[in-house]
Amino acid sequence: MMSPAVAFPADIAIVGGGASGVLLAAQLIRKSQLRVVLIERSAHPALGVAYSTRCRGHLLNVRASDMSALADEPDHFVDWLARDGGGLGRTDFVPRADYGRYLEDLLADSVQRSEGRLRIVTGDVTALSEQADGVEIGIEGQQVLKARAAVLATGHRPPSVSSGAYRGNPWREDNIEDLPHDASVLLIGTSLTMIDVMVSLMERGHTGPITALSRRGLVPHSHPPAPIPSPEVDTRDLFTGSLSQRTFRFRRKVRNGLGWAGLMQLLRPHNNELWHGLDHAERRRFLRHLRPWWDIHRHRVAPQIGEIIAAARARGQLSILAGKIRIGHATDQKVEVTITRRGSPAVEKHSFDRVIDCRGPRNEVDERLALHAQMVAHGLLRSDPLGQGLDVSEQEALIGNNGKASRHLFVLGPPTRGRYTEIVAIPDIRLQAAEVAERLTAQLRQPSGLGGGPAA
């Protein structure tokens, strides 16, 4: 399926071959006759950070019935499970490794369908320049690739840099492979990334103490054992007024018996509408004060994962702390830290055998990355006003330093968090991928001028 990079005249180049890039490629091949090149630095496209795991305990946070990769084929994943899912069905929380196999099959099918129009290039994109008629893409050690448009689908980056026993990339499996079973572990962050590392530790029989710390010490809730029906209730009052007024109405509905789970399920299709109804100041307030509570109810874990966390807390192996942390001296064997618990002026000094940064992925501009540094230097890239991701227009076009939307550069998936905030899950990304595919197909119907005749 792989091919070496050449100066292949493409209509669309997708930079990033994880889940977002594969979803877009699949849509483009199904909806157009455009020539697409998918560029992925890893030798294993389709997996990305989320689905490259080998831990069978890492489960999807959404039931299989809602995990189709294709917006217009809601049973696509369920049908795949019926063939290759080992007995799992639509109400199950499937191992993420299995979903990775599903995405690999989707990519392979897209390559076959394309009859040569979809090519996969392995390499690290280090430069991207915009020309009058398209873009030029520099790939490390390879020839420049020309395309009429490019889509950045670069996914997630780790929260920090590793140093000795301090590990800044929580998704590396070697973070715990050499760890004695009785070692003391500190996990910075108490959200889904922390739970992934915790589950990995439990799967390999870890018996040592585990401490998880975040500013508020909030842990994601669990899904109920069985699907719940969406309640029939009027939520129009949650889409108007100030953030304070909306929050008051939201809490009143919860107190009146609607419950967090039912209300969050009811609102899920309208998350973007809720976000876009807030001005800049209110969005900033939401991120600072309300986002942690929203996330623990919105991004729930599978019931069996919730049971693992509850059991570890009950036996005293897992401690959840609310407070602030400061990293001190780190060697290959130990990390010294100071912790100030929430509501207490006392400073505690601790030493851990392993510290893993689980504060979640980063998506904003980072000039330590060669591609970002080059694009910033050429005025093509800037962070969104809230620093959540890249600045993009309503059409997912990249906004440069001059404040203008690009004609040839677009963004997909988690890097658009600043505009959509809820754009990290497959049910959200697949809709965005379908919309971007339709938009690019309409824009690029004319002959490419890059050789080989008309693009569509």
| pLDDT, position 302 | 96
Mean pLDDT, the chain cut into blocks of 10 residues (456 residues total):
50 96 97 96 91 94 96 96 93 97 98 96 94 93 93 92 95 92 98 96 96 97 86 87 93 85 85 90 92 91 96 97 96 96 94 96 90 95 93 95 95 93 89 95 67 35
Residue 230 domain flag: no
Residue 86 domain flag: yes
| pLDDT, position 4 | 44
| pLDDT, position 272 | 85
Rounded CA separation 139/158 (Å): 22
Rounded CA separation 9/68 (Å): 31
Domain that holds residue 247: 236-298
Q: Which helix (H) or strand (E) holds 14?
A: strand 10-15
Residue 318 domain flag: yes
Note whether 43 and 143 are same-domain residues. yes
Note whether 319 and 367 are same-domain residues. no
Note whether 369 and 255 are same-domain residues. no
Domain boundary among 298, 318, 347: 298
Residue 207 domain flag: yes
Residue 5 domain flag: no
Given the structure tokens 């309409």, which residue do they identify?
Answer: 442
> What residues does 410 pair with on adjacent strands?
151, 397
Note whether 58 and 124 are same-domain residues. yes
Residue 14 domain flag: yes
Residue 133 domain flag: yes
CA atoms within 13 A on the CB side of 360: 14
Domain boundary among 298, 323, 347: 298
- Beta carbons of 417 and 20 less than 8 angstroms apart: no
| pLDDT, position 449 | 39
Rounded CA separation 398/118 (Å): 23
| pLDDT, position 266 | 86
Note whether 288 and 336 are same-domain residues. no
Note whether 123 and 47 are same-domain residues. yes
Domain boundary among 357, 383, 398: 357
- The CATH code of the domain that includes 184 is 3.50.50.60
Note whether 208 and 249 are same-domain residues. no
Structural domain count of the chain = 3
Note whether 29 and 139 are same-domain residues. yes
Note whether 51 and 99 are same-domain residues. yes
Q: How many of the other CB atoms lie within 10 Å of CB of 113?
A: 12
Contacts of 127 by beta carbon, 8 Å cutoff, 6+ apart: 137, 138, 370, 371, 374
Note whether 171 and 310 are same-domain residues. yes
Side chain identity at residue 448, one-letter code: S
- Beta carbons of 275 and 422 less than 8 angstroms apart: yes
Residue 228 domain flag: no
Q: Which helix (H) or strand (E) holds 201?
A: helix 192-203
| pLDDT, position 352 | 98
Note whether 262 and 378 are same-domain residues. no
| pLDDT, position 446 | 57
Side chain identity at residue 65, one-letter code: S
Note whether 83 and 116 are same-domain residues. yes
